[in-house]
Amino acid sequence: MRKYDGVIFDLDGVICFTDHYHYLAWKALADSLGIDFDESKNDRLRGVSRMESLEIVLEGYHGTPLSDAKKTALADRKNALYRQSLQTMSPKDLSDEVRDTLNELRSRGLKLAIGSSSKNTPLILERIGLAGFFDAVSDGNNITRSKPDPQVFTMAAEMLRLPAEKCLVVEDALAGLQAAAAGGFASAGLGPAAQSGEATYSLHSFRDLLDIT
């Protein structure tokens, strides 16, 4: 008897990797505002919403106070730069390991969903060849609260028509693990999340999911 009936995946850093594209876009925006921005600051943006990320970037801003409208315009500019770079993505950005593991989980009868704060989720899935693959997609286009609030995962579970205790969340960011715990989900941590001590399971590779589901 299997432990879970569904698996909910974060997108960036789990299914594929777009961190570098995010970094280049935020770096370009920060440079235009005279703000120092590096990889370590970029790491603080993992798993949080676009506007919350902007506030972190603006911690180094010392110019004329910015109105809410100006901040929205800056966030839109960053997203335009990011989306432009995403056009270079292709199915080659989906590893064989991830593709094969997803197919194996599907063949075992598990329901699969995306739970991502990104509003660019549909574009990314289309570019890497996974448009229409998942049974449910909960993302920045249908949530009002970002991680560590559990909303994105609870909505995904509702779309799958499964209770939280029958779903496993797969995350690479601490905020995502905290969101999973807050929603009553077990979690599997990859990358930095695997070392945090807050994941139910720590994975060495994406394929390890086959051993815990």
Nearest to 46 by CA among 76, 74, 14, 77: 14
In 2-120, alpha helices (H): 19-32, 39-43, 50-57, 68-86, 96-107
Which residues are paired to 137 by β-bridges? Answer: 114
12 among known catalytic residues? yes
62-90: burial string, b at 16+ Cβ within 10 Å, e else: eeeeeeeeeeeebbeebbebbeeebeebe
Q: Which residue among 10, 139, 149, 172 is the active-site one?
A: 10
172 among known catalytic residues? no
Q: Which residue among 5, 12, 43, 93 is the active-site one?
A: 12
**Which residue numbers are catalytic?**
10, 12
